[in-house]
Amino acid sequence: MSPAPPVETKTHSVAVNELTETTSVVVPNLIDKDVGESATECPPAAFSSTVPPAPAPAPPFSVFTAAEKQWISYTASFGAMFSTLSSYIYFPALVPMANGLGVSVSLVNLTVTSYLIVAGIAPALLGDIADQGGRRPAYILMFILVAASNVGLALQNSYAALFVLRMLQSAGASGSYGAAYGIIADITTVAERGSYVGSLILFTNAAPSFGPVIAGVLAQKLGWRWIFWFLAIMTGTYMIIVILLMPETQRKIVGNGSIPPRGIHKSLFETLCRKRRVRRANNDGHVETQVAQFTDTKKARKCHIPNPFTCIPMLFLKGNLVVILIGSITYAVKMTLQTSLAAQCIDIYDLDYLQAGLVYLPSGIGGALASYATGKFLDKNIKKYSAEAGREGQYRRGEDISDFPIEKARFVGIHTLILVSSVGSAAYGVGLSERAHLVVPLILQFLTGAATSSIFTLCGTLLTDLNPQASATVQASYNLVRCLGAGAAIAAQQPLADAAGSGWCFGVFAIVMLMASPLAVLIEKRGLEWRRAKV
């Protein structure tokens, strides 16, 4: 066979080089073959086609690592703890506070009602700030209010100052609960959200157990003013931690965490971790995608005028309303059990202030354990329902849930929990009316505390799933309804107990608790339909 002309050899060499440089595709080894044979078997036209590039990998839902997510979640949850701690730490000190200020216990009880009213209204404003202006500014504002009000409460000497400062304390502390839900929605997918919400509820339910104990010790040993000094030290320290170490997570501002925050949104945590997170995302090819997806960040950073009424439309969505009603009924019943406990135990069992604080431990411990276990249970349920729907693993990446029966997955077991809460409430009332041994109401407090906390975890997680872009705002709606409902229930409790006795009083609340069960059936059956119709 005669050798091929030099011109053809040059032509093929250029074609191979160009193909290799432009497409990075492995081509047959033509060098070892006879050039003429190559020309015959693989003509130059064969190299003119190009291979389309592989699609870019989808960006991660969040660039925060698992350890960073846990730090962020626990920091936010610890802040949310002050919403319940500030309320429950107050109960054992009602009598010494009334004596110290020279007013009746009934007047001091009015500060509990005013606290709940403000706790229902204030998160509507703070939730909108957190959803529109960012999580960090909202947290900083809230804890400036809380720390300042606690210092004022420790120093005040009049009932009027106590009344006003308690409302200011409530305004700051109550908003932290909804803001924590917003942070969890920012950094977690549906598949992992249950565990994080469970940890949040664990913190908020632990406070009612150790808060009254601390208050009892301080009131008995140092005086009731040290309750507020203790809160001032705790909230002031936490505010410093927030300023230095809490990163901005609002997705309208930082996307999935890969967009550098500016100004007040930037923390020391962000400065230390941003380069490492961006480098990790860049290695995965996700940074450019995220920057392109959130190019309109200037609009998100513009000054936003808070609107407290943005939470109201949330109540007109049927799914939200039903979940909020279930959680609010449960909260009202739980608050009647909790507010009656110390006073009833002091009256019936002749306990002192410290002992009256200790009786809150069973409910708090039961609630903390149950909320943590329920969070783990929710994550397992998502895996199970995802596998049944043929979409196993997809919700771990943050996929849309518009065609997924999230209501059924979240509310597994809720009817049993409602029944335990109802029966426990009725039995608690009978135990008090019959003056049963102290261990009886304490065991019932443990059971009802565990059951109600599990219901709170289910409802809070589902509300976040249904409203991931406005999680703090929908929690403000939830807070509004449940606090007003709890205030009404507490106001009705004592007159009802005086008129009919503790047994009938808590029997009525047990019946009210059962009303949550048909509501749960309704959303399990119609929830997916309502979401599709956007009603």
Can you spell out the DSSP letters for 346-365? HHHH---HHHHHHTTHHHHH
Q: Which two tokens stand for residue 158?
A: 């009049």
3-state secondary structure of 198: helix
pLDDT number for residue 533: 86
3-state secondary structure of 184: helix
Q: What is the pLDDT of residues 22-47, one digit of tens each?
A: 444 444 444 444 444 444 444 554 44
- 9 conformational bin, left if phi > 0, alpha if psi -120 to 50, beta if neither: alpha
N-terminal to C-terminal alpha carbon distance within the chain: 80
**Sign for the pseudo-dihedral over CA of 509, 513, 515, 519:** positive
The number of beta carbons lying within 10 Å of the beta carbon of residue 275 is 10
Helices 225-245 & 66-88 angle (0-180, nearest 10): 160
CATH code assigned to 67-255+298-533: 1.20.1250.20
Query: In this structure, are residues 414 and 381 in contact, taking their beta carbons and an 8 Å threshold?
Result: no
Q: Give the C-alpha separation, 448 to 424, whole Å.
A: 6
Using a CB cutoff of 8 Å and minimum separation of 24, what contacts does 8-14 make? 8/35, 8/36, 8/39, 9/35, 11/44, 12/38, 12/39, 12/44
pLDDT number for residue 50: 60
Q: What angle do CA 85, 111, 504 make, to 5 degrees?
A: 85
3-state secondary structure of 295: coil
| Ranges of the chain with pLDDT below 70 | 1-57, 274-306, 389-400
pLDDT number for residue 427: 95
Q: What is the pLDDT of residues 341-373, one digit of tens each?
A: 877 877 788 887 778 778 888 988 899 899 989
pLDDT number for residue 216: 82
Burial of 118-127, coded b for 16+ CB within 10 Å and e otherwise, reads: bbbbbbbbbb
Q: Give the C-alpha separation, 476 to 174, whole Å.
A: 9
pTM: 0.76
Rounded to the nearest 10 degrees, how much is the dihedral formed by the CA atoms of 400, 69, 284, 387? Answer: -40
For the chain, the domains span 6-47, 67-255+298-533
Query: In this structure, are residues 445 and 337 in contact, taking their beta carbons and an 8 Å threshold?
Result: yes
pLDDT number for residue 15: 41
**Sign for the pseudo-dihedral over CA of 311, 313, 315, 320:** negative
Whose tokens are 């009647």? That residue is 336
Q: Which two tokens stand for residue 529?
A: 């339909």
Q: What is the DSSP letter of 247?
A: P
pLDDT number for residue 17: 42
Query: In this structure, are residues 450 and 367 in contact, taking their beta carbons and an 8 Å threshold?
Result: yes
Query: In this structure, are residues 201 and 457 in contact, taking their beta carbons and an 8 Å threshold?
Result: yes
